[in-house]
């Protein structure tokens, strides 16, 4: 089983940006935790991060040729990107949307996700554990097929 983990804009700045919201872990540290759990669950995982909407759309567009499922943190594109939403909808693998913060307890504009309706589920508010919870759920879903 192969899983893709996609991170959107500014996620490469974790550990440096707004620790009160995002904590002090870096994206590399989170990826290491995800890799360790994936190995424990018998899955392989690849990581992709971009601040470019078009690059993320292209990566999603190629994902169903290589992966059984994907975890995505679209970051700010969650609230604005019809293109990412449509890309997720077009591929035939399940996506789990994650957010480190509880997007529903923040600014009003963050309470609307363009991408969640085309994902199998959404996990938010648990810091880096949101990724681990999503990975567990995705692996379980794929194993049931």
Among all residues, which ones are annotated catalytic?
A: 22, 99
CB 5 within 8 A of CB 46: yes
- Name residues whose C-beta falls within 8 Å of residue 130's C-beta, 6 or more positions apart in sequence: 73, 98, 99, 100, 123, 124
- Name residues whose C-beta falls within 8 Å of residue 64's C-beta, 6 or more positions apart in sequence: 91, 92, 93
């Amino acid at each position: 089983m192969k899983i893709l983990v996609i991170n959107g804009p500014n996620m490469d700045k974790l550990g440096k940006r707004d620790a009160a919201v995002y904590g002090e872990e870096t994206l590399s540290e989170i990826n290491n935790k995800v890799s360790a759990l994936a190995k424990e669950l018998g899955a392989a995982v690849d990581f992709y991060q971009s601040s470019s909407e078009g690059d993320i759309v292209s990566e999603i567009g190629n994902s169903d040729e290589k992966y059984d499922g994907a975890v995505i943190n679209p970051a700010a594109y969650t609230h604005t990107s019809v293109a990412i939403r449509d890309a997720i909808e077009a591929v035939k693998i399940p996506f789990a949307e994650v957010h480190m913060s509880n997007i529903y307890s923040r600014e009003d504009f963050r309470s609307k996700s363009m991408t969640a309706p085309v994902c199998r589920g959404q996990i938010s508010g648990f810091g880096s554990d949101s990724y681990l919870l999503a990975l567990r759920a995705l692996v379980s879903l794929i194993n049931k097929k």
